[in-house]
Amino acid sequence: MSELLTGAQIMCRTLVDAGVEVMFGYPGGAIMPFYDALHGHAGLRHILVRHEQAAAHAADGYARASNRVGVCVATSGPGATNLVTGLATAHMDGSPVLAITGQVGRPMLGRDAFQETDVVGVTLPVTKHNVLVRDIEDLADDVREAMAIALEGRPGPVLVDVPKDVQNQKAEYRSRTEPLRRQREPGPELLDDATVREVARLIAEAERPLLMIGRGVIVSGAYAEVRELAERTGTPVITTLLGISGFPQAHELHLGMPGMHGEVHINKAIQAADLIVGIGMRFDDRVTGNTATFAPRAKIVHIDVNPAAIGLNVPVAIGIVGDARRVLERLLSAVTPRTCLPWREEIRRLRHDREELFTGGLSPEVILSALADVTHGRCTIVSDVGQHQMWVAQRYPFQRPNTHITSGGLGAMGFAVPAAMGVRLARPDEPVWAISGDGGFQMNMAEMATMVQEGIEVKLAVFNNGYLGMVRQWQQFFHGGRYSNTPILSPDYVKLADAYGIPGWRVKQAGDVTEALRQANATPGPALVELVIEQEANVFPMIVPGGSLSEPLEAAPV
Ligand SMILES: Cc1ncc(C[n+]2csc(CCOP(=O)(O)OP(=O)(O)O)c2C)c(N)n1
């Protein structure tokens, strides 16, 4: 039976029917009918953020943690443009986010109306799909189609822009006859048997093979398959920044992160490898350094669901377009068991203990191992962007799938705090820690109010070094030590947290870290720990931007 609903009510019904339970947003003139329909809505929870950027990051965090569509909402003009960084972040990292934006009424379109922005135009390059709804008859299907596109193949953000008069107009609500997809489905399989056999042969014949996995492994849930492939063929596994937690850190075949801040033996292994099987990753420049010198001896097999990624950055011997899990299932049926012991031994010999460059005080190692102890590894870590992000990636012992979430491709400072709110709503039963620097934390720290108002239990760790640390490091190394606009003043974070009603701890000494983290972890509700670290600590090793993986810096250049 059909009934007459307003466009705003149709939007709510469509979202509920699609399995949406929570959304993040901020109201304004052009989206008011939708907010009116949300008022007292039993099935849809709306989280009022303090800035629309946070709504997009929170929806992204929710999407990454749940593999479902994360939803954010904003008004026209400034509300919608504030979403752009979050959409670009989700676009780069392949996260299924639906943005719903209000637009000026249809008669006002193109007339420089108050708060009119061509949002479809602005977001075109940072969304997988976007649409301006001009006809109420299309509204429900436009929302459904956008959500389906967000989830299919390589996931990504989509945007539906709804003029205010369409939200107010009445029309019949038609539910769909076929059930709506709520989770990602892998899509069609185009892999032929000859290619499967050829890849299996390359793996069998290689003397120095490596698996290099990215976020595609996490998105497709291919943990078991990657592990089986690695174990059956004795192949060591490298995890890119976004592939971290796609393979257990403590596994004997696990190597770690490659590239700009990868450990020396990992990059040396890449340079010595004769076969690299890249799975669900895109050979980003932070992974490859100078592509002309990257893995000079290796044949590259590249498996990715996104056809455009294959051969984009490095030449590949074999490219396979497909979902990581599906492709690996096929490959597993064809590979020959082997152990690769000489190669594993060779890599072991390349490993050397790096001299600790922290001269005193609190080191990231101490902090991150204390956090692992306190949480028993049972937490999700959402890191921001900068030195602390690299320390987390290098040192936190991630054991469980998809427990490391960060802005990899865009590297958007300010991501961690709001994204962690989204993660927590998707994972209400486990601790969620947002780890930020003092710069990135100050970008979205107003979200502490959101956490308190909405009862979202996020634990906040702020690495305070008094600098925009990663930029300062580059200034020290490559700009003659001129610290142009990188010293950054912080408020008293413990007092600030207190002002929001959040308990806070400040830690300056290694001996106090565990207790502060333990208390913050155990105290119900949001909590903050400020970690005062050495001001000019650097992230090592480092490949200079555009440099070769064969030439790591292990100390500051003089
Ligand atoms: C939105 C945004 N602006 C600027 C940058 C450039 N950037 C990358 S790292 C960094 C410094 C981060 O400083 P902080 O948050 O204190 O973390 P730290 O590096 O000290 O750990 C900056 C400015 C960025 N990545 N994102």
List pLDDT tens digits, range 28-52: 999 999 999 999 999 999 999 999 9
**Ligand 1 atom closest to the CA of 391, numbered from 1:** 21
**Ligand 1 atom closest to the CA of 472, numbered from 1:** 11
Residue 177 predicted with pLDDT over 80: no
Q: Is the dihedral of CA 5, 8, 9, 13 positive or negative?
A: positive
Residue 175 predicted with pLDDT over 90: no
What is the CA(181)–ligand 1 centre distance, in A? 37
Q: Distance between CA 328 and CA 222 in Å, rounded?
A: 8
Between the CA atoms of 86, 89, 94 and 96, what dihedral angle is there, to the nearest 10 degrees?
0
285, 417 contact by CB (below 8 A): no
Residue 537 predicted with pLDDT over 60: yes
Token pair, residue 198, equals 């050829």
How far from each other are the two terminal CA atoms of the chain, in whole angstroms?
76
* Cis before 541? omega within 30: yes
pLDDT, tens digit, 9 for 90 and up, residues 401-430: 999 999 999 999 999 999 999 999 999 999
What is the CA(537)–ligand 1 centre distance, in A? 15
Top-confidence residue, 356 or 144: 144
Contacts of 553 (CB under 8 A, 6+ apart): 477, 540, 541, 542, 543, 544
pLDDT, tens digit, 9 for 90 and up, residues 479-491: 999 999 999 999 9
**Ligand 1 atom closest to the CA of 441, numbered from 1:** 15
**Ligand 1 atom closest to the CA of 442, numbered from 1:** 15
Residue 333 predicted with pLDDT over 90: yes
Residue 558: the pLDDT is 83
Residue 181 predicted with pLDDT over 80: no
The residue among 47, 37, 40, 44 whose CA lies nearest residue 17 is 44
* Ligand 1 pocket residues where CB is under 6 Å: 384-388, 411-414, 437-440, 463, 465, 467-471
pLDDT, tens digit, 9 for 90 and up, residues 66-82: 999 999 999 999 999 99
The amino acid that residue 24 corresponds to is F
What is the CA(510)–ligand 1 centre distance, in A? 25
Residue with the smallest CA separation from ligand 1 atom 5 is 413
Helix H or strand E encompassing 303: strand 299-304
What is the CA(475)–ligand 1 centre distance, in A? 13
pLDDT, tens digit, 9 for 90 and up, residues 357-379: 566 679 999 999 999 999 998 99
Give a three-class secondary structure readout of 379-420.
CEEEECCCHHHHHHHHHCCCCCCCCEEECCCCCCCCCHHHHH
Side-chain half-sphere of 152: how many Cα atoms within 13 Å? 12
Mean pLDDT of the chain: 96
The stretches of 206-323 forming alpha helices (DSSP H) are 215-220, 223-233, 264-272, 285-288
Q: Distance between CA 233 and CA 244 in Å, rounded?
A: 21
Residue 188 predicted with pLDDT over 70: no
**Ligand 1 atom closest to the CA of 463, numbered from 1:** 21
Residue with the smallest CA separation from ligand 1 atom 2 is 413
532, 506 contact by CB (below 8 A): yes
Residue 162: the pLDDT is 98
Residue 259 predicted with pLDDT over 90: yes
What is the CA(469)–ligand 1 centre distance, in A? 7
Residue 187 binned pLDDT confidence (cut-offs 50, 70, 90): low
Residues involved in catalysis: 52, 114-115, 164, 470
The residue among 464, 405, 421, 424 whose CA lies nearest residue 440 is 464
Contacts of 393 (CB under 8 A, 6+ apart): 241, 244, 257, 261, 383, 404, 406
The residue among 290, 308, 289, 313 whose CA lies nearest residue 300 is 313
Question: Mutation test of ligand 1: which of 85, 241, 385 has the most ligand atoms closer than 8 Å to its C-beta?
Answer: 385
Residue with the smallest CA separation from ligand 1 atom 17 is 437
Residue 180: the pLDDT is 67
Q: Is the dihedral of CA 391, 554, 440, 313 positive or negative?
A: negative
Residue 361: the pLDDT is 77
Side-chain half-sphere of 26: how many Cα atoms within 13 Å? 21
Residue 179: the pLDDT is 66
Residue with the smallest CA separation from ligand 1 atom 20 is 469
The stretches of 259-340 forming alpha helices (DSSP H) are 264-272, 285-288, 324-332
What is the CA(118)–ligand 1 centre distance, in A? 30
Q: Pairing between strand 170-173 and 3-6?
A: antiparallel
Question: Mutation test of ligand 1: which of 413, 435, 476, 484 has the most ligand atoms closer than 8 Å to its C-beta?
Answer: 413
pLDDT, tens digit, 9 for 90 and up, residues 222-247: 999 999 999 999 999 999 999 999 99
**Ligand 1 atom closest to the CA of 412, numbered from 1:** 26
Residue 1 predicted with pLDDT over 60: no
Provide the b/e sequence for 161-181 (b: ≥16 CB within 10 Å). bbbbbbbbbebebeeeeeeee
Residue 3 predicted with pLDDT over 90: no
Q: Distance between CA 458 and CA 331 in Å, rounded?
A: 40
**Ligand 1 atom closest to the CA of 385, numbered from 1:** 9
What is the CA(261)–ligand 1 centre distance, in A? 16
Residue with the smallest CA separation from ligand 1 atom 9 is 386
Residue 527 predicted with pLDDT over 70: yes
pLDDT, tens digit, 9 for 90 and up, residues 440-497: 999 999 999 999 999 999 999 999 999 999 999 999 999 999 999 999 999 999 999 9
Alpha-carbon separation of residue 317 from 206, 275, 283, 298 (angstroms): 14, 10, 14, 9
Residue 190: the pLDDT is 72
Side-chain half-sphere of 500: how many Cα atoms within 13 Å? 23
Residue 502 binned pLDDT confidence (cut-offs 50, 70, 90): very high
Provide the b/e sequence for 115-141 (b: ≥16 CB within 10 Å). bbbebbebbeebbbbbbbbbebeebbe
What is the CA(391)–ligand 1 centre distance, in A? 14
Residue 58 predicted with pLDDT over 90: yes
Residue 64 predicted with pLDDT over 70: yes
Residue 2: the pLDDT is 65
Phi-psi region of 245 (alpha: psi -120 to 50; beta: other; left: phi over 0): left
Token pair, residue 47, equals 């989280």
Mean pLDDT score, 497-508:
98
What is the CA(204)–ligand 1 centre distance, in A? 43
